[in-house]
Structure 1
Amino acid sequence: MKNIKINFWLATTGLLIFFIYAFLMSPGEKQAKLINIGVPDDSASYVFRYLIEELGLKGQLSTMLGIYPIKDCCTSTSEWALSTDNLDMAVICPDAAERLIEKDSRYYILGPCRVNSDILISGPSSRVNKIGITQNRWYQETLAHEHLGPDIDVYPMLGNALPFAIQNGRIDGAIMDIANALRLEGKITSLSRGKDHITYVLVVRKDILHEPIFYEFVNLYNQAVQELQDEQSLQIIIEKYAGYSCNGKEASEWIKMNVQYKPLIIPATD
């Protein structure tokens, strides 16, 4: 009787192990691939949040890779983080994009995705001689001189230091993203005069350019851009993602400043 019980126990255990193994090894439903997008922590990210939360893109957004921030694409730690294998694509400024593809041939600049979102905010002084810009965004220095003249002084600094520098009177004004500028007291001025200036481009890893998830992304992204041309729809997402109390007029200011998301084009197949 004792041998029968032992044999029964061994047989039952064996069957249980077999079913567990079969379950673990069976293909089942494959987990859907998520597209991982690096985004800044300003208005450029809103359309990508809309893509995932409202239009159902199978993706995730990241402003951090481990301990490395990518919310400001022009810091050295951010540029290092972008060279890892964790991102499929990233929204970064034109200067950072050029530096990235020079160092890392895996990336491709798909095209501009945001224009005119850098605006000038100035303090109470009628004279604007000292202008702050985000470090390493040298196109902002060009914008400052184009619109304020060659004799102004330009001070590169960390992006999150610009509001404090204005409030403390260390600079007369700063060039920054419209979402950050609208949080501050001061006069805002468009830097778009007859032509668009590109503030963000989308860089994509070349190995996903012809994957189905990439085509889905571009189609949904362009749908989102079309939908957000409607002022009411735009105001809704600004209020949802801005992270501060809005006054209901932000979308109107975006339109007045000619701030736009730009549609993307799928590159031709080789």
Structure 2
Amino acid sequence: MKGGVFAFALLSFVMAAVVGLFSMESEERTPSGIRIGAPDDSAGLVIHCIVGGSGFEAGKIASDYDPYVMKDCCAGTSEWAFGTNRLDVALMCPDAARRLVEKSSMFEIAGPAVLNSDVLVIRPGAVPKRIGIAHRRFYQERLVTEWFTSGCSVVPMLPASLPFAFERGVVDAVVVDVLKAFALSGERISVRRSGADVVTYVLVARKDFTASPVHRQFMERYERVVRELGDAENLARALEGYKAVRWTDREVEEWKRLNVRFVFPPKAGA
């Protein structure tokens, strides 16, 4: 099985190179408005709605927004995009955001954006020994070590590799985004334990952007979208437009059980 883990580590490296090439190609385009870094998972739903893909009132088409899809916020190319002023604002995991603000005083964390969107999926009947997590997301490693105090090893890999590794039996459990968790067969466990929420995404912005007039407009729109997504019907409709998946009451109730929530971060400087 060690060979299998090594193979997946190698696969993750190759995929990282491919994603990096794709990202660099995308970054060469000329932006036409506010440049927003958006994950391709549940957190990206907020940005999808902001730029006009929601189908409800808060998400009317906004031509002044220029979204940039980040396949992995912890990848070097995503952090580089911010560092070279190619993004104005983005949703990033806490670890990636912390690395960014530690490297440069040009950026700041506005506050939490998504809570509890990571889900632990365990193979049916399995006693986890190897648990896959997203690479460079050290908060996930801390969570796993809190849940399983001994006898488990953590296997970091690209987020895109986690479902495949789980299905092929390379790992017994994975920590994945809630949307990926819904597609896996296994026991789904919320990362929220003992009543404490886990911040899985934060809103990060360039300080010069937060001082601009368009920042206030963006934040007002952001707040309206978050409020609208708090309604189950709006959430289901927005997800259908975002990922082309139709949700039933069962999926909505599972979302609630897992305590996944979008929250509005405080305005910078407020």
Report the TM range for the smaller structure's normalisation.
0.7 to 0.9
1:116 maps to: 116
Please give the alpha-carbon distance, in whole angstroms, between the structure 2 residues aligned to 1:250 and 1:156. Answer: 28
Equivalence for 1:220: 221
Q: Which protein is bigger by CA-based radius of gyration?
A: 1
Residue in 2 that maps onto 1:41: 40
The CA distance in 1 between the partners of 2:40 and 2:218, in whole Å, is: 20
1:5 alignment counterpart:
none
> What is the match of residue 60 of structure 1?
66
- Partners in 2 of 1:245 and 1:185 — Cα distance? 18
Query: What amino acid is aligned across from residue 47 of structure 2 in structure 1?
Result: F
* Residue matched to 2:264: 263
Alignment of 1:159-198 (within 5 A): 159-193=159-193, 194-198=195-199
Please tell me the residue identity of whatever aligns with 2:219.
V
* Cα separation, 2, equivalents of 1:93 and 1:135: 12
User: Which SS does the other structure have where 1:49 is aligned?
Assistant: helix
Distance across 1 between alignment mates of 2:170 and 2:156: 12
The DSSP-based 3-state class of the residue aligned with 2:253 is helix
Q: What CA distance in whole angstroms lies between the structure 1 residues aligned with 2:35 and 2:46?
A: 15
Matched-pair contact (CA < 8 Å) for 1:130–1:173: yes
Post-superposition Cα deviations, 1:217-262, rounded to whole Å, max 9, x if no partner, equal 1111111111111111111111211244645533322111000111
Task: State the TM-score, normalizing by the size of structure 1.
Answer: 0.81
Output the amino acid matched with 1:60: D
User: How big is the shift at 1:204?
Assistant: 0.3
Write the deviation string for residues 92-144 of structure 1: whole angstroms up to 9, x where unpaired: 11101111112222111111101100010111233112100000001001111
DSSP-derived class of the 2:39 partner: coil
- Do the aligned partners of 1:112 and 1:264 also contact (CA within 8 Å) in 2? yes
Where does structure 2 lack aligned partners over 5 or more consecutive residues?
1-31, 53-58
**Displacement, 1:56?**
4.2
The percent of aligned pairs where both chains have the same amino acid is: 39
| Counterpart-to-counterpart distance in 2, 1:256 and 1:55 | 30
What is the aligned length?
Answer: 231
CA distance in 1, matches of 2:252, 2:83: 35
Cα deviations by residue, 1:10-61 (Å, 9 ceiling, x for unpaired): xxxxxxxxxxxxxxxxxxxxxxx72110011101010111112024443121
RMSD of aligned Cα (Å): 1.7
CA distance in 2 between counterparts of 1:156 and 1:182 reads: 21
Unaligned runs of 5+ residues in structure 1 are: 1-32, 64-69
Normalization by structure 2: what TM-score? Answer: 0.81
Looking at structure 2, the residues matched to 178 and 192 of structure 1 have their Cα atoms a distance apart, in angstroms, of: 13
- Corresponding residue for residue 7 of structure 2: none
